[in-house]
Amino acid sequence: MEPESIASSSRNPSQLSWINLSRNLLLAYQSFGVVYGDLSTSPLYVYKSTFEGKLQNHHDEETIFGVFSLIFWTLTLIPLLKYVFILLSADDNGEGGTFALYSLLCRHAKFNLLPNQQAADEELSSYKYGPSSQTGASSPLKTFLEKHKRSRTVLLVVVLFGACMVIGDGVLSPAISVLASVSGLKVTETKFNDGELVLLACLILVGLFALQHCGTHRVAFMFAPIVIIWLLSIFILGIYNTIYWNPKIVFAISPHYIIKFFIKTSTQGWISLGGILLCITGAEAMFADLGHFTASSIRLAFAFVIYPCLVMQYMGQAAFLSKNLESVHNSFYDSIPGPVFWPVFVIATMAAIVGSQATITATFSIIKQCHALGCFPRVKVVHTSKHIFGQIYIPEINWILMVLTLAVTVGFQDITLIGNAYGLACMTVMFITSFLMALVIVFIWQKSILIATIFLLFFWIVEGVYLSAAFLKVHQGGWVPLVLSFFFLIVMYVWHYGIRRKYKYDLHNKVSLKWLLGLGPSLGIVRVPGIGLIYSELATGIPSIFTHFVTNLPAFHKVLVFVCVKSVPVPYVSPEERFLIGRACPRPYRMYRCVVRYGYKDIKRDDGEFENHLIQSIMEFIQMEAVEPQISSSEASSSFDGRMAVIGTRSFESTPSLISAEQEDVDIDESIPSSRSITLRRLQSTFDDENPQVRRRRVRFQLPNNPGLDHAVKEELLDLIQAKEAGVAYIMGHSYVKARKSSSFLKKLVIDMGYSFLRKNCRGPAVALNIPHISLIEVGMIYYV
């Protein structure tokens, strides 16, 4: 790294700027296939959706000019002004989306509702991203939100409602994009009927969802060229139609035509805004997918390619419609010259699939983030690419989305009705994003409330007009995203409420450390060889599961580690800051605590290295404690529990104070004392041989010959190494959560039915944490909350 840094510093500024520009141009090229697929396919259905219904009596040139003027200014104000120039600057360590804004707010204004947060989390490098929040006087609004838990709960519900609408996008976007693309077959000589088009669309959708497990990276190299060819096609078609049919359409850019449009159409024009807003569906992806690219690359792609291509295409369609009023129901395909119809049809269908793929992937990502916040049941998350971080696949959600998408496609069979639903979902997300952005302007950017109010009022007025028009079409398909969002919101809130009540029970029933210390190092039980990893959601304190276990089975492992795997309100936690290691009791007890921290976009990979990294980190902590006495004599806490140090995960070869050897085939050594019988260890060996794909590396640690090593430290390290050789057991609570008899009917309904149903039908914590089943011990417990 050092020669590279020297070389880079020796480059002149023009070379660095050229390298930066070329990198942004490459990322801009890649963004076409991921970010802009949905936005770029909206010309397929915007004019059709706008002129259906109330505007059927206004099929004339002046109205068409007014509609184009509205489309032009909508594209200019919301995607260009709001997203490109403002929102892309409000990133969270390079990540975007509603959760990024919420994460920023949680860190800088303490709106967080995650229960097991620690002061050490604020020392994370990614936690300090953005301007310092240490200002002189706190604003009254900030103080109010921090003091009142209900206000923070309302903020979380608003964010979750926006997330639910994004899930609705994942259902509606594939349906409308694919159905609109195949609708071009209506104008061919064969003239397919609606039933045949719906069947064809369903077949494409089934194929699309069936291929999700392969991961988008396998066909990602095709995505950008497809969208670029599509953009060039619609750009050329727009120029051709404008010149050939009606060049005067250029004058419709003037907002004067918008005024004339509303004077002429009155209420009918206002209702038609529900169709016009479809021209910006997919714009949210520019901000939501920011983490895969850079703000500069997305700005370049939109300002210099997407925006002019879309404006020219809408202009061309308007020019065509002004002279062909009868084609308003299929304006895009009717405006294509005959010789190029089939090539454009094929590329339109492929572009629709690409746009749908991006929306489905975004849905997987938003559900992963909801789960990290403790607001979604545990699901299986598969990382589909070794090279592209963030490409994930969630099987259960994929099939649910497929069923819902097919139901919408078959149930409505009409682009306009699906468009009414899709527009409502997208505009709701934008409305919520504007609200969160206003809070960011005040609390993160530390601007005056006046500037935030001007921003919020301007965009809420613009978006509110569109949103009100979309709500008028609730009975015409707009109810779909509301029903879907209401259902997913109930699921999220019930799950969040249940885990919070369970955490509070654990918090109030912690084992007394004084009582534990009074038992002595043996804890009054038999300490058998081996390491016991006790999983709990508590970041401090001894969980009640421990006493429940030893009460029923009065023996425990010689080395105990209380493990807490938790999420922190940052997108990613670097491996160097992943582990927090400390002692739960004094040294003779051989009891440690490990807090494993993940960001809301981190992926817990099943690489089989967690166990080895944990032991390595504890050994490094023991040696660090001996070298740095302030760790063991910290004044941060009067008890042993609470003093923790950040230990980075490194490769085993790079640990200078330890000798580690990787062993692929290790014969069973019956001389090593173990808490597991020889029969069980032979079963483990047989299991490994029969399942090579899940085989975990066996790493053997040894102490180096260091005469300066303290005797007590050396003895503790040897105990840890011997315990590791004896075997590792994973202890988890198999909990049953029930409401108290004195609880209200609503609480009993939520806990005993809702939360219990979700727990029984989602993946267990052992599966979610990739714990080897053969080493798992579960302890049954009933929680009365």
Judge if 622 and 488 occupy the same domain: no
Across residues 345-362, what is the average pLDDT? 87
Which of 474, 496, 518 finishes a domain? Answer: 496
Whether residue 584 is contained in a domain is answered as yes
Judge if 465 and 528 occupy the same domain: no
Judge if 554 and 616 occupy the same domain: yes
Judge if 251 and 155 occupy the same domain: yes
Look at residue 251 and give its three-state secondary structure: helix
Across residues 295-300, what is the average pLDDT? 91
Whether residue 348 is contained in a domain is answered as yes
- The answer on pLDDT for 600 being more than 80 is yes
Which of 442, 474, 496 finishes a domain? Answer: 496
pLDDT of residue 216: 57
**pLDDT tens, residue by residue, 114-162:** 666 777 777 887 777 666 544 444 677 777 777 777 888 888 899 999 9
Q: 278-301: b or e for each residue (b if 16 or more CB lie within 10 Å)?
A: bbbbbbbbbbbbbbbbbbbbbbbb
Angstrom distance (rounded) from CA 652 to CA 650: 6
The residue range of the domain holding 604 is 510-626+643-648+699-784
Nearest residue to 413 (alpha-carbon basis) of 166, 193, 210: 193
**pLDDT tens, residue by residue, 447-503:** 888 999 999 999 999 999 999 999 998 998 899 999 999 999 999 999 999 998 988
pLDDT of residue 131: 61
Angstrom distance (rounded) from CA 364 to CA 390: 10
Number of structural domains found in the chain:
2
Angstrom distance (rounded) from CA 59 to CA 54: 11
Whether residue 552 is contained in a domain is answered as yes
Please name every residue paired with 534 in a beta bridge, in sequence order, or none if there are none.
562, 731
**pLDDT tens, residue by residue, 712-752:** 888 888 889 888 888 889 988 888 889 998 989 999 999 99
- Let me know if 638 is exposed, middle or buried by CB neighbors in 10 A (0-12, 13-18, 19+): exposed
pLDDT of residue 358: 78
Q: 178-193: b or e for each residue (b if 16 or more CB lie within 10 Å)?
A: bbbbbbbbbbeeeebe
Judge if 489 and 514 occupy the same domain: no
- Let me know if 322 is exposed, middle or buried by CB neighbors in 10 A (0-12, 13-18, 19+): buried
Alpha carbon distance, N-terminus to C-terminus of the chain: 54
Nearest residue to 253 (alpha-carbon basis) of 266, 237, 242: 242
Q: How confident is the model at residue 83 (pLDDT cuts 50, 70, 90)?
A: very high
Strands, sheet with 579-583, edge to edge from the N-terminal-most edge strand: 644-647, 579-583, 591-598, 555-567, 526-535, 728-738, 776-784
**pLDDT tens, residue by residue, 552-566:** 777 888 899 999 988
Whether residue 116 is contained in a domain is answered as no
Judge contact between 128 and 121, C-beta under 8 A.
no
Nearest residue to 529 (alpha-carbon basis) of 777, 771, 725: 725
Q: How far are the Cα atoms of 36, 301, 350, 364, 739 from residue 224, in angstroms, in the given order?
A: 9, 12, 11, 21, 53
Angstrom distance (rounded) from CA 276 to CA 416: 11
Q: Encoding tokens for residue 500? A: 């919070």
Q: How confident is the model at residue 211 (pLDDT cuts 50, 70, 90)?
A: confident
Q: How far are the Cα atoms of 19, 26, 561, 686 from residue 11, in angstroms, in the given order?
A: 10, 21, 50, 58
- Let me know if 552 is exposed, middle or buried by CB neighbors in 10 A (0-12, 13-18, 19+): exposed
Which of these ranges, 278-282, 414-418, 643-647, 675-679, has the smallest mean pLDDT?
675-679
Place of tokens 């909801």: 370
Whether residue 473 is contained in a domain is answered as yes
Which of 462, 496, 530 finishes a domain? Answer: 496
**Long-range contact set of residues 717-723: C-beta below 8 Å, sequence gap at least 24:** 717/619, 717/622, 717/623, 719/558, 719/559, 719/590, 720/531, 720/559, 720/590, 720/615, 720/618, 720/619, 720/622, 721/619, 722/529, 722/672, 722/673, 723/529, 723/530, 723/531, 723/557, 723/558, 723/559, 723/590
Q: Residue 128 CA to chain centroid, in angstroms?
A: 20
Across residues 295-312, what is the average pLDDT? 94
CATH (domain of 203): 1.20.1740.10
- The answer on pLDDT for 314 being more than 90 is yes
pLDDT of residue 641: 53
- The answer on pLDDT for 363 being more than 70 is yes
- Let me know if 27 is exposed, middle or buried by CB neighbors in 10 A (0-12, 13-18, 19+): middle
Angstrom distance (rounded) from CA 50 to CA 59: 11
Judge if 186 and 81 occupy the same domain: yes
Judge if 145 and 181 occupy the same domain: yes
Angstrom distance (rounded) from CA 350 to CA 344: 10
Judge if 361 and 443 occupy the same domain: yes
